[in-house]
Structure 1
């Protein structure tokens, strides 16, 4: 867990049940809940109950917990009926990637045809 930023995140308040959330699944180590601004028909966030700022920090400090996050993401996909049609699991790391809450979380997206994501503007044909 990071000690450099003692401020409580939104996700920690959801984990503590101080803020309501539409909880989809919970384990001893993770909590999965629906995103309040969904970017797909299914958009669920999976957070570890222990705070790490991003997926790199989590992977370095506790690989088993990262595996739990991925297992919970797959369970969410099963619960929402996404395993046959497909789903995406995304970790945003840092502001340029769109991370706005600095408590690592996986986005589970699916339930519809998902388009391409990201944009590469520096290709060989770029001006």
Structure 2
């Protein structure tokens, strides 16, 4: 069974994308359809289909993803203005690719969400 998706192809550099950050655990790259001036996706390098698939063995990946978002916000100097991180889950939550991913949004005033 081929489990590749667009994110795994970006991680493996089979598809060209502007990678912002990459290490052994996560990859961060610019969203192809940005919803704000800064829109970066942070994904685990191993496929985890959604946040519902987080378990005792892989639970640290969420912290790694959040810490990566903070590092990027500091590196590109928008952490003081503020930003939003979002994880969509499954169809009703707006997740369109079955690979856990965190959206890092910033660069403008984002409307109130809740």
The two structures share one fold, judged by TM-score above 0.5: yes
Distance in structure 1 (CA, Å) of the matches to 2:62 and 2:93: 19
Q: How many residues align?
A: 114
Aligned to 1:96: 92
Question: 2:38 pairs with 37, 42, 64, which one?
Answer: 42
Distance in structure 2 (CA, Å) of the matches to 1:48 and 1:70: 11
**Any conservation in 2 of the 1:87–1:110 contact (CA below 8 Å)?**
yes
Secondary structure of the 1:84 match is coil
Q: What are the Cα deviations for residues 49-84 of structure 1, in whole angstroms up to 9, with x where unaligned?
A: 011011231355411222111111111111221110
Aligned CA RMSD, in angstroms, stands at: 1.6
Question: 1:18 pairs with 9, 14, 19, which one?
Answer: 14
Aligned to 1:114: 110
Aligned to 1:65: 61
**Any conservation in 2 of the 1:46–1:108 contact (CA below 8 Å)?**
yes
Distance in structure 2 (CA, Å) of the matches to 1:71 and 1:98: 23
Q: Where does structure 1 lack aligned partners over 5 or more consecutive residues?
A: 119-127
Superposition TM-score, scaled by structure 1 size: 0.83
